[in-house]
Amino acid sequence: MVGMSAAILQGVPATTTDTDFWVDLPERAYVRLMNLVVKQGGTPMAPTMYALADGSLVNFIFSLTGLKEFDQEFVHARRLSWNGMKVRVLPLERIYKSKQAAGREKDIAHLPLIKRVILGRKLATGGVKDDSGGSR
């Protein structure tokens, strides 16, 4: 799991209207994913985006700007328990990097919040001084 859904699971107090999954498949294999989702009651909205039966959206991503290859990122993914499953999520630092590289307005808008959570997590786990700048 990548993008803001992964960020939310790691403590970023934000919201998103779709869940992004980075898949280790060539883009031309999107039909395999479509068949999988449709079999579960989902509806195709675009070649890589689907509405699931409950109305939530999922988006399949085949490459992420600013990051290494899937395999190289996957080994560093965090394992979290979620919905009774173990899921792999892209670490916040890597989400930050991918959003910084993507550079779209909606990505840039999330950067300060993600940065704050990275710092907050360090403080919460102990021993890091706030170097985010002076008090304002």
Instruction: Tell me the number of residues near another protein by CB under 8 A.
Output: 38
Residue 121 parent element (H or E): helix 105-125
Closest residue by Cα to residue 5 from 51, 14, 53, 70: 14
Binding mask 41-70 for another protein (x = CB under 8 A): ----x---x-x--xxxx-------------
Shortest reach from residue 112's CB to another protein, in Å = 9
Binding test (CB under 8 A) with another protein, winner from 25, 36, 109, 123: 123
Q: Of all residues in the chain, what percent are helix, strand and coil, respectively (each to 5)? A: 40, 20, 40
Closest residue by Cα to residue 10 from 131, 124, 133, 129: 124
Residue 95 parent element (H or E): helix 92-102
Among residues 71 and 105, whose Cβ is nearest to another protein?
105
Note whether 120 binds another protein by CB under 8 A: yes
Find the binding residues for another protein in span 85-114 (CB under 8 A): none
Per DSSP, the three-state class of 46 is: strand
Binding test (CB under 8 A) with another protein, winner from 36, 101, 108, 124: 124
Among residues 77 and 80, whose Cβ is nearest to another protein?
80
Give the number of other Cβ atoms within 10 Å of residue 70's Cβ: 16
Binding site for another protein (CB under 8 A): 8-18, 45, 49, 51, 54-57, 80-83, 116-117, 119-121, 123-126, 129-130, 132-136
